[in-house]
Amino acid sequence: MCGNEALAEAAILAGCDAYFGYPITPQNEISAYLAHRMPAEGRVFIQSESELAAINMVFGAAATGKRAMTSSSSPGISLMQEGMSYLAGAELPAVVVNVMRGGPGLGNISPAQGDYFQATRGGGHGDYKTIVLGPASVQEMADCMLLAFDLADQYRITVEILADGLLGQMMEPLTLAPRPHRPLPAKDWALTGHAGGKQNIIRSLWLGEGALEEHNKKLQAKYRRIEENEVRCEEYRLDGAEVVVVAYGIVARIARAAVDQGRQEGIPVGLIRPITLWPFPSRQIGRAADTFPVVLTAEMSSGQMLEDVKLAVAGKAPVLFYGRMGGGIPSADELLGQIRELTLSKKQV
């Protein structure tokens, strides 16, 4: 199974009630897969007329308490930002998958990580966050999807899975199993048609004096709770490391190969891989910076996660960067070259 299909089958397993999407490369395997699996399970599948419509169909389905998702790639995700802002304002749970490609504009269809800022800063208008998960294998494409629906329901928030074309297209062995049951709050806010004579209203409009500020405070308190409880990251070969690489997604896989090769050559190098990109594992990286002299951030962008790494390191260690853009994929050898250089220049100092 390719990453996109693994993610799609995991959506079935997660009890996704409805999928809405508009075709765009490199994520079309998701909709092609769900076009037969969803109806076969008696669930809803619609190919919408645009990404605007898709995200708003998700909005409608989620408002009635159903588990709903959409998937797209970078240009389509840009179109969805309006809807994602409304989802945040209305506090509706939803899952959005972004299989990133090169940009800006139409860009190309090669894998990229240029949408990190858009995903982790909110993306649309207003003061909000979405939970952002960065899978790094076909197995994690599935695992993140299972986790995403639970997190979305628990916090009434949008969860974005930030993958890339490479992860979407590649195949690896995969084990699919449902997640252990997580107790989730009842959806007594959902629109079901005046249940029990009580009117439910879902809105993102708060006109009363101070009402919107109160609403924002409530949202921010929720975001702090998520930062407290939902940070996930992987630490790899940090023992005695003098250089620590920070990378997510497919770049973390490449970095892992570079770390293994470096260790074979006797270079003390390790890896921190954020799995949640928001909330960002700032504490873990900050702790690492206390111990390790140099941090190297690697991305398929001009340096977006780099800013979060710098904030986490807070000047305690130099933070260097290696990146490729526009669909360029860094090789393990390129990264290893960077690591070698860093260790050499450190010895000279």
Both ends of the chain: CA-CA distance in Å?
49
Q: Among residues 106 and 314, whose Cβ is nearest to other proteins?
A: 106
Provide the minimum distance between the beta carbon of 249 and other proteins in the complex, in angstroms, as a whole number. Answer: 12
**Contacts with other proteins in 136-175 (CB under 8 A)?**
165-166, 169-173
In what helix (H) or strand (E) does residue 245 lie, and over which residues does it extend?
strand 243-246
Residues 6+ apart with CB under 8 A from 335: 245, 254, 255, 258, 298, 322
| Other residues' Cβ atoms within 10 Å of the Cβ of residue 193 | 6
The pair of three-digit structure tokens given for residue 248, joined into one six-digit string: 């997510």
Rounded CA-CA distance 47/28 in Å is 11
Cβ closest to other proteins, residue 64 vs residue 216: 64
Amino acid at 111: P
According to the binding rule CB under 8 A, does residue 26 interact with other proteins?
Answer: yes
Q: Does 24 bind other proteins (CB under 8 A)?
A: no
Q: Which of 13, 41, 187, 200 binds other proteins (CB under 8 A)?
A: 200
Span 204-263, contacts to other proteins by CB under 8 A: 204-205, 207, 250, 253-254, 256-260
- The mark string for 43-82 relative to other proteins (x by CB under 8 A, - otherwise) is -x-x-xxx-xxx-xxxxxxxxx-x-x-------------x
Q: What is the Cα–Cα distance from 314 to 50, expressed in whole angstroms?
A: 42
Beta-sheet pairing, 269-274 with 94-100? unpaired
Q: Considering the complex, what minimum distance in angstroms separates the CB of residue 191 from other proteins?
A: 4
Tokens at 314, concatenated: 């807070």
In terms of CB distance, is 94 or 294 closer to other proteins? 94
Q: Confirm or reject binding of residue 32 to other proteins (CB under 8 A).
A: no
By the 8 A CB rule, do 153 and 184 touch?
Answer: yes
User: Do 132 and 275 meet the contact criterion of CB atoms below 8 Å apart?
Assistant: no
Q: Which among 126-134, 197-205, 272-280, 283-291 is the span making contact with other proteins, rule CB under 8 A?
A: 197-205
Residues 6+ apart with CB under 8 A from 194: 200
State the Cα angle at 26 between 23 and 27, rounded to 5°: 60
> Residue 205, Cβ neighbours under 10 Å: how many?
11
Position 109 contacts other proteins (CB under 8 A): yes
Closer to other proteins by CB, 201 or 349: give it.
201
Closer to other proteins at the Cβ: 67 or 317? 67
Instruction: Please name the amino acid found at residue 235.
Output: E
Q: Which of 16, 18, 233, 288 binds other proteins (CB under 8 A)?
A: 18
CB closer to other proteins out of 271 and 294: 271
- Footprint on this chain of other proteins (rule: CB under 8 A): 17-18, 20, 25-26, 44, 46, 48-50, 52-54, 56-64, 66, 68, 82-83, 86, 90, 109, 165-166, 169-173, 191-195, 197, 199-205, 207, 250, 253-254, 256-260, 329, 331-333
